Chain A
Amino acid sequence: MTAGFDQLRQAAEEQWESLTASDTPVITVGTATCGRSAGALDTLDVLRGELAGRDLECRFVEVGCLGPCYAEPLVTVSLPGAATVCFESVNIKAARKIAAYVAGGELPEELAFATIGPDSIPGIPDLMDTPVMKGQVRRVLRNCGVIDPGDIRHSLARGAYSGLQRALELDRDARIEELDRSGLRGRGGAGFPVSRKWKFCIDAPGDTRYIICNADEGDPGAFMNRSLLEGDPHALLEGMIIAGLTIGAAEGFIYCRAEYPLALGRLAVAIEQAEQAGFLGPDALGPGRPFRIKVKEGAGAFVCGEETALIASLEGHRGMPRPRPPFPAVSGLWGCPTVINNVETLASVALIFQHGAAWYAEYGTERSKGTKTFALVGNVKRPGLVEVPLGTTLREMIFDIGGGVSSGHRFKAVQTGGPSGGCLPEDKLDIPVDYESLQEAGTIMGSGGIVVMDERTCMVDFARFFLDFAADESCGKCGPCRLGTRQLLRILEDITQGKGSPSDLELLEGLSHNVMRGSLCGLGATAPNPVLTTLRYFRDEYVAHIEGRTCPALACRDYIAFEIDGENCTGCTACALLCPVDGIAGAKEELHAINAAVCIKCGVCSDTCTFDAVQTVGVSP
């Protein structure tokens, strides 16, 4: 396959060049799931429609997501001889203005977010100088939002599969050595060194081996893997092929959650194109050495992200974990030695072979090398997908890149690691994000979810939320997990409903430790983390609920009431019309009042009132 590679790549480069140095306008629209939900397909339609009628040849490219979710839909325009401009929040009206610009009109500067590439325009920053991009190092994400994920030539022109070519020239020990020097650790949660996992698998006896990519992305609130699958699927395929080559597997499986239909579609296209190009198929790893990849859809069970449960699911069983050892590297799919790695881990493998271990290890800390993608969400001004060197502090991520807390409220807490992680308060924001530092603080890096919360989030309710999730998702195999998470949930529900008692805190702690100790898999072993960290850092909120009979965040329904403020109410009647229980009375242009006896605290009135007249007040349950 190597012989043809240079030709393939050259053709791809020529095609890419024809796009980047095009003598006709090139327009890209980010149409990943996130862009679509913000209306990108309508934007694309309008652009196409507006430009169709003119005597102008335009090229449209659908790309993945660049990362700044808050600015979606994103559109870039490259006119011949002008700087490439990236426009933000391109709704239909904005799309019309941009179409006019493409057709020779003036640049709608107010819509411009940044310029991309060497040319600049006064008054518009370069993309990498914008606050949201400045602290970032885009390596894993370098192609996302830039290339058409449905066209393998774009990937090839930007280096895809050159890592595989290099890996093919090295022997197995040299490949493991390269990985080892890169310091790459698993990006799916536990941070296990990749070279060691692969080595275990190589050393295990057996004739058939498998590589599995974990694309289950179970952390609810994280989407790093989705963006990568939708924006640059070949990065993952290349990493998997290198893994197959190194551990001696002829078959690989991608276990992808069914909730990602677009990602599944793009993977199918990418696999087909990789087969046509010969990167997959009967001679993928050399003459007569086949390698194939199959995609399996998950069926909506969080626990199937756990490696042994994932294997059970692939084999057609209920996704229940089993004790380890034996580890999958020794006995995995159908009892064969199997390596399971996360999407981002495998994409990083491809990068390491493309650019070398030293290049990869340039960034990061002593024990956590390289860059990592994070999904920065919650009450933050600029939510999005970011990639930073490991060791960057939470403060830099939240305040410099994320722009701080949205809506003028005060920062309260940040949660990392999803349902297995924990919440940290403001005074922990300066810890560097690496595997060990986060663990010391009581949380974990997990797969990269970072949820920012302002003072309106109740930490007891937040712990309740995660325990609700864990109790729901427990597979039921272990008593302490199945029953303990339910019990923890019940106690937390009691506290948030005004029925907590002072002994609850000790009970929560004791029970948490028992659940952690008595659970077979990581789900149960980490499920109490949200409880323990909120007890550690936000204990006063628990005490306020139980003893003070108040919810300081004014979030728990049984601790609040809605009232209409006589100063601000204009008597517009909007709230009264919408109140689902007819609980608001008042004549037109007169002060309205809420009948507390029937109010179900749905919040519709406060959401509706444009005069800020509906106030949330604390009451004792």
Chain B
Amino acid sequence: MATTNLGPVLSAFERRPESLIPLLQSVQESLGYLPPDVLGTVARHARVPRSRVYGVASFYSQFRFNPVGRHRVAVCRGTACHVGGARFILEQLERTLEILEGQTTEDMEYSLETVACIGCCGLAPCISVNDEVSAKLTPMKVRKQFKKARK
């Protein structure tokens, strides 16, 4: 089970409530998401009630409760990308990957999400795949990029 190998991850943090967010970040980093049973482990380590762990984890958009694909495709929905036609990029990706925003392909290869802004607004519209950014996109470009990958 996932929890068994969390020891080294947890022990890097002080057992105090203010470690909670960095703890969750670190656990998610190593597991890819926050499985339900991990929340209790984190709660014990940070010495806070489990309800607080869930309250905090559900407040921040960074935290996920479901596994994600190996390639995390994030479409920027920031202002510059919106003006540059981000919705067409998102829709094209939904069609090409055959999943909707927030979903993961069955083979666990791709997840599709949106992000507030990647910080590359001068080259809008942008997406990031794991942490790598592609810029100045068009629906055609993303179609090509991901159609190849889907084969």
- Residues of chain A whose beta carbon lies under 8 Å from any beta carbon of chain B: 33-34, 36-38, 69-70, 72, 217-223, 226, 258-261, 296-302, 313-319, 375-379, 383-385, 415, 418, 449, 451, 453, 457, 462, 465-466, 469, 475, 578, 580, 602-604, 607-608
Contacts and interface: CB of A to CB of B under 8 A. Distances in A.
B118 A33 contact: yes
Contacts of B6: none
B60 A301 contact: yes
Nearest to A262: B131
Interface in B67-104: 76-85, 88, 91-92, 95
A313 B17 CA distance: 11
Given A299-B25, A602-B88, A602-B91, A316 B119 contact: no
For chain B, the bracket of interface size reads 35 or more
A318 B48 CA distance: 13
Interface string B119-130: 111111010000
Nearest to B121: A377
A349 B131 CA distance: 32
B140 interface: yes
Interface in B6-55: 16-22, 24-25, 46, 48, 55
Interface of B: 16-22, 24-25, 46, 48, 55-56, 59-63, 76-85, 88, 91-92, 95, 115-124, 126, 131-136, 138-140, 143
Given A221-B80, A318-B59, A608-B140, A313 B121 contact: no
Nearest to B23: A316
B63 A38 contact: no
Contacts of B61: 299-301
Given A34-B122, A377-B121, A317 B78 contact: no
Contacts of B17: 315-316
List of 9 A-B pairs having minimum Cβ-Cβ separation, nearest first? A69-B122, A221-B79, A220-B78, A299-B60, A220-B117, A37-B133, A377-B80, A300-B62, A300-B61
Nearest to B91: A602
Given A299-B63, A603-B139, 13 more contacts: A34-B122, A34-B123, A37-B133, A69-B120, A217-B119, A223-B121, A259-B116, A301-B59, A317-B56, A318-B60, A377-B79, A377-B80, A607-B139
A172 B95 CA distance: 61
A259 B127 CA distance: 12
B58 to A, nearest CB: 9
A540 to B, nearest CB: 20
B17 to A, nearest CB: 5
Contacts of A465: 79, 82
Nearest to A607: B139
A299 B59 CA distance: 9
A222 B117 contact: yes
A591 B84 CA distance: 30
A457 B122 contact: no
B80 A378 contact: yes
Contact of A319 (B48, B60, B76): B60
A314 B116 CA distance: 21
A223 B120 contact: yes
A37 B116 contact: no
Contacts of A34: 119-120, 122-123, 135
A357 to B, nearest CB: 31
Given A37-B134, A415-B79, A449-B79, A220 B59 contact: no
B60 A38 contact: no
Contacts of B56: 316-318
A379 B123 contact: no
Nearest to A68: B122
